[in-house]
Amino acid sequence: MSALRIASRPLRSVALLSRRGTQIHWGRGIPRYSTASYAQDLIKPPVSVEYDKLLINGKFVEAASGKTFPTLDPRNGDVIAHVAEGDAEDINRAVAAARKAFDEGPWPKMTAYERCKIILRFADLVEKHNDEIAALETWDNGKPYEQSANIEIPMFVRLFRYYAGWADKIHGLTIQADGPHHVQTLHEPIGVAGQIIPWNFPLLMFAWKVGPALACGNTVVLKTAEQTPLSALLVAKLFHEAGLPDGVLNIVSGFGATAGAALASHMDVDKVAFTGSTETGKTILELAAKSNLKSVTLELGGKSPFIVCEDADVDKAVELAHFALFFNQGQCCCAGSRTFVHEKVYAEFVEKAKARALKRTVGDPFKAGMEQGPQIDEKQFSKILGYIKSGTEHGATLETGGARFGSKGYFIQPTVFSNVQDDMPIAKDEIFGPVQSILKYKDLGEVIKRANNSKYGLAAGVFTKNLDTANTLMRALRVGTVWINCFDTFDATIPFGGYKMSGIGREKGEYSLKNYLQVKAVVTPVINPAWL
């Protein structure tokens, strides 16, 4: 499969209605969305919740405490379901099941080809249930259904097929030594992997972590985000239908301070992988170090620069910068949230970026043609509005947006700021919402220095026609991924991870396998060798 920009595939048509906010002017002449045309009647999701318990040792079970917590529909804040709330005791049960499955079960002992076939059968089942899974993901998360159904679930399937292909291609080396010895390395599964995934891409992060772990022969305890626990339980059921042995994949829904902390600090977990905020990542690293010094992979926050050079086709740059920031409601760790534009094209870019934001369709994510659904929850919604207020208070120019969209749920108008300065909170902090900050620069040396002046180093975008400029920037930017004249081009084969406080290690591609393998050196004397 060729590299794919995550939102560039043709969308499957669905028989749903599309509505668009219309432009009005108020306040100081700032163009904003009208909410008059926003339909408060929401489409009923074409799916029901069948699995709301913990998955431990192949069975759906209640939490040991009997507690549950509500998972909400971000379109209106209503309760979708009450889900079992796992805590430390449930993590203990899940880890015990995973340990027994690793030490005594068939998964690490079966041939790699047999593991490959089970993973491929799972991918086929997910593909068969594509629309049902996509509907559940959209209902629980708020992202557009067309994005879930036509982009993310097919990508999920591709990732598992990719890792299935790796299962029987993991091998060590034969090494030449300085003496009469035969030396080889074995690449062994690391054991029980604890994995903690976020709410912005629940199923894709499931695939990024579970795929390589299982391909390498490990067993898994996965903690889902408390905001989005539903889709992982559904696909895990399909995994067992595909023949996955009991105890190999265990899923605990719950909160970070209880279930997450228990998993990261568990003495019988051999490795922990986490995607989420940098602050929580620090806590995970500390818990891992203070327990059994388990290995850690972290994919954390970002404040990615998107650099528009003076030779850019402005119309194309505006569209790509818009996508880089607003995709997935702006809830992307690698979002191009610092849009650096050369002074020669700055004014034109700002006007066209404002116009593009005003055309963005916002509303019920189950309606056809919607580009933007609600933010994940009340906490994130309020945080974003707080940053918007901060932007105006610190002197940035609010070009459009800046307020709630509609009267129900957690919808926010696409927001554009110009005249943003590097020391403003909206230019430094990870907002994780539909807020575009446009900054002006004069020359290449200046923008390199400013782009790198961040505690983060996850990704960057470069838009230029000049090959020399592209080559200079790709090497100078201190980030894990540089997209040149594209953005969010993801593929199962392309590694992803960050510099600095954006994380440790890489996910996806061949590099991700190293996270779940131990390297063992085996040395044997060779008596009277014919050759060395």
Contact between 492 and 1 under an 8 Å Cβ cutoff? The reply is yes
Residue 321 CA, chain-centre distance (Å), reads 19
Residue 361 falls in which region: left (phi positive, over 0), alpha (psi -120 to 50) or beta: beta
Active site residue 299: yes
Residues 6+ apart with CB under 8 A from 14: 145, 146, 149, 368
> Which sign does the torsion angle of CA 429, 432, 434, 439 carry?
positive
In 3D space, the residue among 318, 316, 324 whose CA is nearest the CA of residue 418 turns out to be 318
- Distance in angstroms (rounded) separating the CA atoms of residues 299 and 497: 6
- Distance in angstroms (rounded) separating the CA atoms of residues 182 and 522: 8
H or E, element range at 234: helix 230-241
3-state SS class at 269: coil
Q: What is the DSSP string of 44-91?
A: PPS------SEEETTEEE--TT--EEEEE-TTT--EEEEEE-B-HHHH
3-state SS class at 299: strand
- Distance in angstroms (rounded) separating the CA atoms of residues 384 and 361: 19
Q: Which residue type, as a one-letter code, is found at position 232?
A: A
Bridge partners, 182 (sequence order) = 524
3-state SS class at 9: coil
Catalytic residue among 85, 132, 226, 299: 299
Query: What's the Cα-to-Cα distance from 263 to each of 196, 269, 291, 439, rounded to whole Å?
Result: 9, 7, 11, 41
Helices 112-128, 153-166: axis angle to 10 degrees equals 170
Instruction: Show which residues are catalytic.
Output: 299
